[in-house]
Structure 1
Amino acid sequence: MRNTKYWMSLLVACLLTGSVSFAGEWIDLFNGKDLTHWENPYDWGKAEIVDGEIHLTTEKSKWFLATKKEYSDFIFEAEVKMPEGPSNSGFLFRSHKSKNKMFGYQAEVDPSSRNWSGGLYDEGRRKWFISPNRDHAASKEEQLQSIAEFTKRVGTSFKRDDWNKYRIECRGDHIKISVNGVTTTDIHDQVDSKGYIALQHHGEDGQIYRFRNIRIMDLADE
């Protein structure tokens, strides 16, 4: 009885102090104040906190702000707002990190007229391989069909001049991406089962990429 009371007291204390987390609960990856969960693996690029948002800028080229921790099965949510003019971004997930380099799955943020936001790009490897399949289709007809099916799914879900909420779900080889509540990608792929999450700046000098409300539900131990 005495041991039971001790462990219950310890559990309550941990919960009150926020010192432990459990699979299936939301964890803030950004608290609006600091970049505790994040690091820049590049020799360039700048991440600043402005009014509770992460602002990414660069004077050189494309870079990614990455999580310090790897994740396998999870639900990830974040909001992104793109600058006016030419720009492109994305959320890497289950990705790989080394000095001045990241590659892997990327949920596309595309404010151009093409509107491929919510598509699945394979950064540094297969490029557009499935959703939509522009680079690995067996024929031109198959390519055009894949693009048409994707743009029909996406519709007008992405808001060019507003905040956009992304949701990425990974369970085993099942990958699902949603933009503002609209499912844009729902596929199975086995190339990567674990890796880092990262926020992309595409490299345009002077452009500010803004991110907020970033959180994750780790499902690895469920």
Structure 2
Amino acid sequence: MKRHTTLSAICLALLFTATAHSDEKGFTPLFNGKNLDGWVQHGGKAEYEIVDDTIVGTSVPKTPNSFLCTEKIYGDFELQVDFKVDPLLNSGIQIRSNVYDEDKVLETKNADGKEKKIKVPAGRVHGYQVEIDPSDRAWSGGIYDEGRRGWLNNLADNKAAQKAFKQNEWNHYRIVCRGNSIKTWINGVPAADLKDDLTSEGFIALQVHGVGNHPEKVGKQVSWRNIKIKELKPEKKK
């Protein structure tokens, strides 16, 4: 019996190891740990620097939201990233986002199905944002439509996801975009589950939120590390 138990434990360990390695296959780092090659800043003038294999964003006064954006465009993908944020600072991770050189009008629909037009100013980063929210509201992992429609999937009714956020510690996001589906997990707990087809592709960006007239929020930081992506093949239509 003891021999059987030992063999079972070994088999389980090997299975776990194989699964873990399988999950890692296909991922590509978005950050090389040395410099910001492949990234470009849009929006505000927040400071981005590299500290110990980590991208650190620092808030500055008198500037709008700042975004460090990938130069590459992504459509269907799985993104994983660790982040840590100061309790006074709001942040987020943009996905399928864009910025235009000229003003542009987007056509969408209201919740009641009526046609709606949204004007996006030139230079304005806009698109889906996976919220980083250290406030008491705790909506980290919810989906906000930056520069367009506002909240699309908050976490008001998802207590488990609210409780999953760890204040003053590293947190982990898993974000999966496929077709019109966007799903998020925070520290392994399901968070947002959105169906929306307004934008099918765009860049990924790291946000440092503007601090407005709040001097106590100046100089606060948000950090990201272990940023990796796996591009997914579009699902076949039935």
CA contact (8 A) 2:178 2:234 kept: no
Tell me which residue corresponds to 1:206.
219
Q: Do structure 1's residue 179 and structure 2's residue 183 form an aligned pair?
A: no
Partner Cα separation in structure 2 for residue 94 and residue 125 of structure 1: 13
Q: How high is the TM-score relative to the length of structure 2?
A: 0.72
CA contact (8 A) 1:58 1:206 kept: yes
CA contact (8 A) 1:78 1:212 kept: yes
Q: Give the gaps of 5 or more residues in structure 1.
A: 1-23, 133-146
Tell me which residue corresponds to 1:141.
none
Partner Cα separation in structure 2 for residue 213 and residue 54 of structure 1: 10
Q: Give the gaps of 5 or more residues in structure 2.
A: 1-24, 102-122, 212-217
Cα distance change on mapping 1:183 and 1:162 into 2, 3 Å: same
Partner Cα separation in structure 2 for residue 214 and residue 178 of structure 1: 15
TM superposition outliers: structure 1 runs of 4+ over 4 Å? none
How many residues are matched? 182
CA contact (8 A) 1:79 1:212 kept: yes
Cα distance change on mapping 1:161 and 1:43 into 2, 3 Å: closer
Q: Do structure 1's residue 190 and structure 2's residue 213 form an aligned pair?
A: no
Partner Cα separation in structure 1 for residue 67 and residue 51 of structure 2: 18
Partner Cα separation in structure 2 for residue 128 and residue 96 of structure 1: 18
Q: Do structure 1's residue 104 and structure 2's residue 111 form an aligned pair?
A: no
Structure 1 position 36, deviation (Å): 1.5
Over the aligned positions, Cα root-mean-square deviation in angstroms equals 1.8
> What amino acid maps onto 2:139 in structure 1?
W
**Residues 128-162 of structure 1: CA deviation (Å, up to 9, x unaligned):** 13335xxxxxxxxxxxxxx2x23x24141110110
SS at match of 2:99: strand
> What amino acid maps onto 1:126 in structure 2?
R
Q: How high is the TM-score relative to the length of structure 1?
A: 0.77
Q: Do structure 1's residue 124 and structure 2's residue 147 form an aligned pair?
A: yes
Partner Cα separation in structure 2 for residue 199 and residue 97 of structure 1: 14
1:26-41 to structure 2, matched below 5 A, reads: 26-41=27-42
> What amino acid maps onto 1:107 in structure 2?
V
SS at match of 1:71: coil
Cα distance change on mapping 1:113 and 1:182 into 2, 3 Å: same
> What amino acid maps onto 1:119 in structure 2?
G
